[in-house]
């Protein structure tokens, strides 16, 4: 809570809880929960014994992400002091109240797209009430499982009503401030809009809550038996544009990190991980010319992300063409798909796939010092933090959180998942090879990394990264320019004055109203001259000038030529003199 309060004071406004409703895989009583029977801390950093020991009790321990719903509208009992009786209800409400007193609102991750079981299984609920109705059936009569578990059918009237009624209950009775939909693309768009309508009808006088203030966002991925609107118009990225319900944007995420979450070779580099500017030697990155071209395209994807992923945002790309966000390619799809700044949610990492620190550990050259790894982390986070629209970061990412390279830690226990709040405890890196079930193909890359001293940050790197991130949060939340309300407002305020055929690979210069932001992802100091700004007085933003990062304070500005000079792996925010004075 001390760390959450620090983040709240810096501008974090919500805590997003992974599923906290009643789920099926954790014994609810502490006395029934198993614990690993090994001395995990004494094992080598690259050993396979930790994951073996954790896996032996994983199905019976007290840890699971909870994406296996049992009862949608009941708090999970394993989080309560006593799972029987009213404690789980009272304590959940107290938790929401406690976060609110710390200045934080609560978002619940909700998983209405599937259940933990179907048919006559002991943990089947809906299918045993009306067999074959609440679960989505394939043409042959079997239950769809594209979501990993028995799928539900919110396109059916009563399943759709269950979703709406359940969310209204969480809002009215528990005062939850927002909801994140797991695999929202498996819901009809109409169902999610019905949720929005029902929540909007809640009033303080009648319900004790202003439903219009409740936020909604979700995963708008397009796959499975519902893909391409095969059964209904889906709640996917392109369809939710203009609704005010945000979808996760993977465009800038992949451009910043490099590659994709399912690459066979995890060393594919991106903007923040050294593509072209600090190559790691992996053949997966291609030759120098290919790397340069990929990096410049990644910079265009990031620019679209900084606009809020707006489809109609117009700028000059690195090829010198005037393009809209929707005309920038993302693996065959339009990079820009949003109609307004709130339609896309920016992020560099979330609970799925490797943490940002672990992804960068794979991608940065092995000899990269810990201090530079920390700076690359903050730079990557900045591309989301300083974008238009909402942004999210995974718990502990500002503390360089590692899961010892585990890419799917939903059942990996506390050993791999713990957030290490005290820097003296490290960041979680080097706690053994990650669980074999989801990571064994990458062990050949992971093993030498886990014993690499350069990949182990200490207190200076951990506290430095956290402080620098909080400085960026303060800038984001105190400068109104980062919160444009309309696409037109973004178009008028945001530009990339050096974008074009002469753009520096690894550097993005952004002008936002009276601010100039330079993202220097290269390992060396870079100068960016904007002739149109020559004569205009700029200074490093007061938050950074008086902030925690000594390196960014060495950034300079030459007024006569309009030249901004920024250290390697650094994001510097400059304010025009009037804005700088107002910020003091």
Contact 571, 535 (CB under 8 A): no
- Indicate which residue of 109, 182, 398, 411 is catalytic: 182
The sign of the torsion formed by the CA atoms of 326, 313, 251, 569 equals positive
Partners of 323 in beta bridges: 315
DSSP states along 91-138:
HHHHHHHHHHHTT-EEEEEE-TTB-S--TT-TT--HHHHSTTTSB-B-
Residue showing tokens 């105190």 = 478
Q: Are 365 and 281 in contact (CB under 8 A)?
A: yes
Q: Which of left, alpha, beta for 374 (phi over 0: left; psi -120 to 50: alpha)?
A: alpha
C-beta neighbour count of 453 within 10 angstroms = 8
Secondary structure class of 79 (helix, strand, coil) = helix
* 3-state SS class at 90: helix
C-alpha angle 556/562/567, rounded to 5°?
Answer: 30
- Distance (Å, rounded) from C-alpha 379 to C-alpha 377? 5
- DSSP codes, 148-203: SSPBB-TTSHHHHHHHHHHHHHHHHHH---EEEETTGGGSBHHHHHHHHHHHHT--
- What token pair was written down for 197? 């309508």
Active site residue 513: no
Q: Could you identify the residue written with the tokens 């178009």?
A: 491
- Burial class, 69, CB count within 10 angstroms (exposed 0-12 / middle 13-18 / buried 19+): buried
**Which bin fits 57, alpha (ψ -120 to 50), beta or left (φ > 0)?**
alpha
Output 53-59 pairs: Cβ under 8 A, ≥24 positions apart.
Answer: 54/412, 54/413, 54/415, 54/416, 54/435, 55/435, 55/436, 55/437, 57/413, 58/411, 58/412, 58/413, 59/25, 59/411
Catalytic: which of 109, 219, 372, 406? 219
* Whether 219 is catalytic: yes
- Is residue 217 within 8 Å of 244, Cβ to Cβ? no
* H or E segment and range at residue 339: none
Nearest to 209 by CA among 317, 97, 333: 97
- List the alpha helices (DSSP H) in 452-510: 459-478, 487-493
Tokens 């182990």, residue located: 456
Active centre residues (catalytic): 182, 219
């Amino acid at each position: 809570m001390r760390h959450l309060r620090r983040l709240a004071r810096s501008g974090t406004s919500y805590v997003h809880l992974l599923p906290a409703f009643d789920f099926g895989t954790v014994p609810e009583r502490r006395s029934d929960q198993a614990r690993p029977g090994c001395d995990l801390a004494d094992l080598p950093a690259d050993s396979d014994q930790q994951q073996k020991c954790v896996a032996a009790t994983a199905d019976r321990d007290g840890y699971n992400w909870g994406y296996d719903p049992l009862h949608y509208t009941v708090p999970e009992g394993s989080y309560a002091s006593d799972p029987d009786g009213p404690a789980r209800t009272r304590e959940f409400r107290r938790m929401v109240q406690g976060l609110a007193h710390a200045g934080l609102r609560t978002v619940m991750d909700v998983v209405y797209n599937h259940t933990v079981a179907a048919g006559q299984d002991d943990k089947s609920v809906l299918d045993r009430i009306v067999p074959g109705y609440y679960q989505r059936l394939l043409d042959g009569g079997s239950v769809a499982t594209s979501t990993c578990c028995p799928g539900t059918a919110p396109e059916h009237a009563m399943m759709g009503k269950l979703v709406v009624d359940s969310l209204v209950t969480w809002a009215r009775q528990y005062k939850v401030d927002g909801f994140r939909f797991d695999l929202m693309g498996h819901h009809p768009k109409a169902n999610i809009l019905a949720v929005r309508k029902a929540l909007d009808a809640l009033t303080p006088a009648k319900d004790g809550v202003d439903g219009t203030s409740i936020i909604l966002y979700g995963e708008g991925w397009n796959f499975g038996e519902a893909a391409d609107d095969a059964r209904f118009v889906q709640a996917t990225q392109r369809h939710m544009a203009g609704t005010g319900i945000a979808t996760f944007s993977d465009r800038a995420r992949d451009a910043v990190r490099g590659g994709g979450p399912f690459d066979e070779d995890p060393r594919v580099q991106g903007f923040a991980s050294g593509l072209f500017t600090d190559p790691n030697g992996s053949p997966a990155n291609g030759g120098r010319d290919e790397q340069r071209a990929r990096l410049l395209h990644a910079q265009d994807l990031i620019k679209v992300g900084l606009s809020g992923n707006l489809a109609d945002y117009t700028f000059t790309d690195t090829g010198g063409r005037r393009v809209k966000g929707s005309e920038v390619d993302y693996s065959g799809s339009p990079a820009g798909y949003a109609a307004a700044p709130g339609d896309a949610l920016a992020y560099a990492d979330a609970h799925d796939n490797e943490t940002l620190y672990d992804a960068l550990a794979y991608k940065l050259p092995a000899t990269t010092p810990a201090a530079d790894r920390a700076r690359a982390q903050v730079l990557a986070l900045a591309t989301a933090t300083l974008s238009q629209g909402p942004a999210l970061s995974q718990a502990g990412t500002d503390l360089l959180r590692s899961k010892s390279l585990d890419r799917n830690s939903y059942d990996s226990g506390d050993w791999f998942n713990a957030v290490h709040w005290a820097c003296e405890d490290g960041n979680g890196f080097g706690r053994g090879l990650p669980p074999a079930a989801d990571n064994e193909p990458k062990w050949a890359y992971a093993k030498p990394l886990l014993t690499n001293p350069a990949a182990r940050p200490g207190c200076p790197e951990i506290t430095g990264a956290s402080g620098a991130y909080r400085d960026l949060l303060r800038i984001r939340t105190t400068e109104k320019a980062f919160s444009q309300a309309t696409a037109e407002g973004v178009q008028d305020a945001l530009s990339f004055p050096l974008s074009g055929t002469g753009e520096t690979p690894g550097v993005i210069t952004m002008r936002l109203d009276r601010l100039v932001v330079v993202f220097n992802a290269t390992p060396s100091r870079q100068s960016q001259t904007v002739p149109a700004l020559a004569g205009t007085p700029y200074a490093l933003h007061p938050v950074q000038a008086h902030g925690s990062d000594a390196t960014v304070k060495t950034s300079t500005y030459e007024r006569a030529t309009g030249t901004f000079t920024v250290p390697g792996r650094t994001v510097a925010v400059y304010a025009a003199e009037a804005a700088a004075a107002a910020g003091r």
